[in-house]
């Protein structure tokens, strides 16, 4: 019984360690307190750095790090470092990996499950991407243009159609006047013929671009009706006709591109427009 509680109370994961450090921080000697603060502020440094580099960075001696580790029951600095590394290891891995973790328990033992996982992963990736690829100022301008419009024309065909049909649904709920262009090919152009400069259009088209969408956007642009568009390339035919356009590349699984990012974008745009109108309305009262 010379080492009565050797490993029992040694923190085994980062959260536990953090708790213990915070708990005992007050009663810690000066240098150890310094290390404590540094370690919680720069956990990544501790995970990756060497004792020497960390010591320099935290402005202490390497031996202090060892004492610090031993103070909390670890054998040496290295074993404490493992905690910091494990933290990064277990940190929400990539979606692929996360799904791989699911693999064992149930999904994709069955082949369809892996298809399912693939699409979920692709959707995640898409969303990750969209957060950085959409310029918020451009978004603001797009909201401006569409919020001012009398009627919003929604142009989308084929793969983009679900997006505009969601917007149509939401606009209806939000009492925003719109026209959904993209259903029956015949009446589309008649619809667009009625558009005036007080209106605006939102067009969605991804490669391979539906030629009608591009043509319709061009038609409106020629008549000085502002067009906002969502597409997947700077070379998209929509870009040249648009006052504001967004490039949004969806991730794919097995060649089938996700719609999650476009959908999230569409929802945000829809709600932002309605919100802006509501405020303008309030102000007018």
Partner DNA sequence: TCCAAAATAGAACGTTCGTTCTATACCCGC
Partner DNA sequence: GCGGGTATAGAACGAACGTTCTATTTTGGA
- Give CA–CA dist 277/47, Å, rounded: 50
- Interface residue with a second copy among 39, 64, 117, 216 (CB under 8 A) is 117
Tokens of 226: 């502002």
Q: Which DSSP letter does residue 235 get?
A: T
Residue 140 within binding range of a second copy, rule CB under 8 A: yes
Q: For residues 55 and 227, what is the distance between their CA atoms, to the nearest angstrom?
A: 58
Compose the 15-54 pattern: x for residues touching a second copy by CB under 8 A, - for all others: -----------------------------x--xx------
Please report whether residue 60 would count as binding DNA according to CB under 7 A: yes
CA distance 232 to 14: 42
106 binds, among DNA, a second copy, none (CB under 5 to 8 A by kind): a second copy
- Number of Cβ atoms within 10 Å of the Cβ of 151: 16
Binding at 60: pick from a second copy, DNA, none (beta carbon under 5-8 Å per type): DNA
Q: How far is the CB of 222 from DNA (least distance, A)?
A: 58
Beta carbon nearer to DNA, 60 or 261: 60
Which residues make Cβ contacts (< 8 Å) with residue 190, sequence separation at least 6?
none
Question: How big is the chain, counted in residues?
Answer: 285
Instruction: Residue 155: name the closest of 81, 87, 206 by CA.
Output: 206
Binders of a second copy among residues 156 to 175 (CB under 8 A) are 158-159, 161-163, 165-166, 169-170
The span from the CA of 158 to the CA of 210, in Å, is 8
Structure tokens at 104: 């064992």
Which of DNA, a second copy, none has residue 259 at its interface (CB below 5 to 8 Å by kind)? a second copy
Residues that bind a second copy (CB under 8 A): 44, 47-48, 85, 88-89, 91-94, 98-99, 102, 106-110, 112-113, 115-120, 122-124, 127-128, 130-132, 134-137, 139-140, 143, 158-159, 161-163, 165-166, 169-170, 253-254, 256, 258-261, 263-265, 267-268, 271-272, 275-276
């Amino acid at each position: 019984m010379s080492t009565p509680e050797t490993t029992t109370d040694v923190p085994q994961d980062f959260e536990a360690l953090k708790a213990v450090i915070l708990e005992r921080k007050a009663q810690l000697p000066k240098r150890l307190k310094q290390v404590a603060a540094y370690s919680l502020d720069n956990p990544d440094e501790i995970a990756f750095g060497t004792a020497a580099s960390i010591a320099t960075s935290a402005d202490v001696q390497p031996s202090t790090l060892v004492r610090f580790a031993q103070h909390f029951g670890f054998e040496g600095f290295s074993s404490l470092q493992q905690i910091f590394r494990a933290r990064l290891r277990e940190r929400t891995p990539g979606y692929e990996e996360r799904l791989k973790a699911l693999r064992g328990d149930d999904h994709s033992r069955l082949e369809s499950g892996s298809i399912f996982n693939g699409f979920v992963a692709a959707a995640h990736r898409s969303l990750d991407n969209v957060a950085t690829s959409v310029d918020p100022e451009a978004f603001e301008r797009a909201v401006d243009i569409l919020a001012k419009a009398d009627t919003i024309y929604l142009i989308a065909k084929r793969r983009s159609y679900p997006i505009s049909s969601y917007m149509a649904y939401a606009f209806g709920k939000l009492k925003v006047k719109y026209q959904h262009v993209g259903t029956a090919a015949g009446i589309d152009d008649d619809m667009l013929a009625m558009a005036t400069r007080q209106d605006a259009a939102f067009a969605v088209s991804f490669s391979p671009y539906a030629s009608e969408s591009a043509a319709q956007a061009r038609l409106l642009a020629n008549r000085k009706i502002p067009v906002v568009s969502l597409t997947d390339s700077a070379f998209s035919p929509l870009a040249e006709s648009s006052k504001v356009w967004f490039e949004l590349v969806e991730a794919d699984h097995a060649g089938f591109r996700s719609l999650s990012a476009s959908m999230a974008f569409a929802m945000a745009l829809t709600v932002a427009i309605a919100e802006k109108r509501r405020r303008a309305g309030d102000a007018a009262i």
